[in-house]
Chain A
Amino acid sequence: MSVVTNTTTIGAIEAPSRRNTELAMLAFAVAIPLFAYLNVGLALDGTVPSGMIGYGLGIGLLAGVGHLVVRKFAPYADPLLLPLATLLNGLGLVLIWRLDQSPRLIARATNLYGSFSPDAPKQLMYSAIGIALFVAVLLLLKDHRILQRYTYISMAVALVLLILPMFFPARNGAKIWISLGPINVQPGEFAKIIIAIFFSGYLMVKRDALALASRRVMGIYLPRGRDLGPILMVWAMSILILVFETDLGTSLLFFGLFVIMLYVATERTSWIIFGLVMSAAGAVGVATFEPHVQQRVEFWLNPFAQATWDQSEQVGQALMSFGAGGTLGTGLGQGNSDLIGFAANSDFILSTVGEEFGLAGTMAFLLIYGLIVERGVRTALAARDPFGKLLAIGLSGAFAIQVFVVAGGVMGLIPLTGMTMPFVAAGGSSVIANWALIGILIRISDTARRPAPAPAPSPDAEMTQVVRP
Chain B
Amino acid sequence: MNKPLRRIAIFCGLLVLALLLRTNWLQYVEADELNSHERNRRVLIERYASERGNIVVDGKPITGSAKTKDTDFAFKRTYLDGPMWAPVTGYASQAFGASQIENIEDGILTGNDDQLFFDRTMAMFTGDEAKGGNVVTTLNGAAQKAAFEGLGNKKGAVVALEPGTGKILALASTPSYDPSSFAGYGAKDEKSWNKLGKDTDKPMLNRALRETYPPGSTFKVVTAAAALEHGVVDDIDAKTDSPLPWTMPGTTTELVNEGNIPCKDATLREALRVSCNSVFGKLGYNVGKDKMLETAKKFGFNEEQFVPVRANASIFPEELNDSQTALSSIGQFDTRTTPLQMAMVASAVANDGKLMKPYMIDQLEAPNLDVIEKTESEEMGQPLSQEHAQMLQEMMETVVNEGTGDRARIPNVTVGGKTGTAQHGENNSKNPYAWFISYAKGENGSPVAVAVVVEDSDATRDDISGGGLAAPIAKDVMKAVIDSKK
Contact = CB atoms under 8 A, between A and B. Distances in A.
A366 B27 contact: no
B413 interface: no
A381 B4 contact: no
B71 A336 contact: no
B45 A1 contact: no
B19 A413 contact: yes
Interface of B: 1-9, 11-13, 15-16, 18-20, 22-24, 26-28, 30-35, 37, 39-42, 45, 71-72
B23 A363 contact: yes
Interface residues of A, number: 55
B42 A320 contact: yes
A408 B42 contact: no
A401 interface: yes
Contacts of B15: 400-401, 403-404
B19 A324 contact: no
Given A267-B4, A336-B42, A359-B23, A370 B16 contact: yes
Given A320-B42, A408-B22, A264 B5 contact: yes
A263 B23 contact: no
Interface of B, helix, strand, loop or mixed by DSSP: helix
B28 A359 contact: yes
B18 A323 contact: no
Given A363-B24, A411-B19, 7 more contacts: A7-B2, A327-B27, A354-B27, A366-B19, A366-B20, A381-B6, A389-B5
Contacts of B8: 260, 263-264, 377, 393, 397
B10 to A, nearest CB: 9
Given A7-B2, A374-B9, A377-B12, A304 B22 contact: no
Contacts, number: 139
A235 interface: no
Nearest to B40: A320
30 contacts: A104-B72, A260-B11, A264-B8, A265-B1, A267-B3, A309-B39, A319-B34, A320-B35, A322-B27, A323-B31, A323-B37, A323-B40, A324-B40, A359-B24, A369-B16, A373-B12, A373-B16, A377-B5, A380-B5, A381-B9, A389-B5, A397-B8, A400-B16, A401-B15, A403-B15, A404-B15, A408-B18, A408-B19, A411-B23, A411-B26
Contacts of B30: 323
A367 B3 CA distance: 24
Contacts of A107: 71
B352 to A, nearest CB: 55
A358 to B, nearest CB: 7
Interface string A342-366: 0000000000001000110011001
A11 interface: no
A369 B16 CA distance: 8
A374 B12 CA distance: 8
A104 B41 CA distance: 13
A358 B6 CA distance: 32
Specify the main secondary structure of chain A where it touches its partner.
helix
A323 B41 contact: no
Nearest to B45: A336
Interface in A289-328: 304, 309, 313, 316, 319-320, 322-327
A374 B5 CA distance: 11
Contacts of B5: 264, 377, 380-381, 389, 393
A309 B41 CA distance: 13
Contacts of A333: none
Interface in A394-444: 396-397, 400-401, 403-404, 407-408, 411-413
Minimum-distance CB pairs A-B, first 7: A323-B34, A359-B27, A370-B16, A400-B12, A1-B1, A322-B26, A404-B15
A453 interface: no
B34 A324 contact: yes
Contacts of A404: 15-16, 18-19
A85 B18 CA distance: 22
Contacts of B32: 323
A49 to B, nearest CB: 18
Contacts of B28: 326-327, 359
